[in-house]
Structure 1
């Protein structure tokens, strides 16, 4: 049997890092996946899926990612049940990250080509402002050896 899902999307909120009683790191986050087809009004909606990562992967995600960052994950689907405070059974479906996710962080330009969302750089003392490399209209020199195809 095969239980493997691959997603590329944007973080719906900052990664929520917690630790179990045994000291194992667990990160919960939502991934926004934009639907490929627009509705009749031309609006493309997004689905938000619940995801979870464990161990060093969870800590790395919490340290390096913020809301709005684009990432790719390979995961497996998992369902579980629990009883809420009223005694009702609740069912949860989530995607558990398998291996190390690919951080496809897209730079957030401050000059109107994207949103900075007011996030501050996690490393104190570093300048959060980044230059858009395409502003100067100069050709980019890329050798054929660096192309993936």
Structure 2
């Protein structure tokens, strides 16, 4: 069975942090996602998708994002129901966020000044993806041949001969 959702859209309002009776941080938020086509009247149609984040991920969302910011959400669909005040059964469908990516800088925050994108994973760890915030970009481990005497194939005039015994596969 597969239950995966990937969304890219804008927050419809500032996220608000709440806590369960057991003290677990949670944040319900709505992402506005444009459809790939226009309606009969030529207007861009939009879906408003309810999402929920938990623990440190919820705290990161509240601390770093505001209404209108572009985010990416990866998670799963969860359905539920409860009894409303009028006694009728209310059915819900939410995307439970496993990973939230902040896709544009938040004006006025430190990450905006650095021009970095921040990602909050399932465990709520916020990591910068542009070299700041403690996240290091992988260094190029390939040799950098700048002189012809270091490149063993610099003077070859044709294809390089390799024996099948030398191949690792």
Shared fold by TM > 0.5?
A: yes
* Secondary structure of the corresponding residue to residue 57 of structure 2: helix
**What residue is the counterpart of 1:19 in the other structure?**
19
Tell me whether 1:57 sits opposite 2:81 in the alignment: no
1:19, distance to aligned residue in structure 2 (A): 0.5
Separation in 1, partners of 2:106, 2:58: 22
Question: Any idea what the Cα deviations from partners look like across 1:56-86, whole Å, max 9, x if unmatched?
Answer: 0000000000000001010100001100111
Following superposition of structure 1 onto structure 2, how do residues 59-138 of structure 1 map, counting pairs within 5 Å?
A: 59-98=59-98, 100-105=99-104, 121=108
Q: What does residue 125 of structure 2 align with?
A: none
For residues 83 and 43 of structure 1, the distance between their equivalents in structure 2, rounded to whole angstroms, comes to 36
More relative contact order, 1 or 2 (CA 8 Å, 6+ apart): 1
User: Counterparts of 2:66 and 2:44 in 1: how far apart (Å)?
Assistant: 23
Counterpart of 1:44 in structure 2 is: 44
Q: When the two structures are superposed, what TM-score results if normalisation uses the length of structure 1? A: 0.70
The TM-score with structure 2 as length reference comes to 0.62
Calculate the aligned-residue CA RMSD, in Å: 2.3
Residues matched between the structures, number? 114
Cα–Cα, structure 1 residues 52 and 107, in superposed 2: closer, same or farther, change >3 Å? closer
SS in 1 for 2:58: helix
Specify every segment of 5 or more residues in structure 2 that has no aligned partner in the other structure, as ranges. Answer: 114-138, 140-169
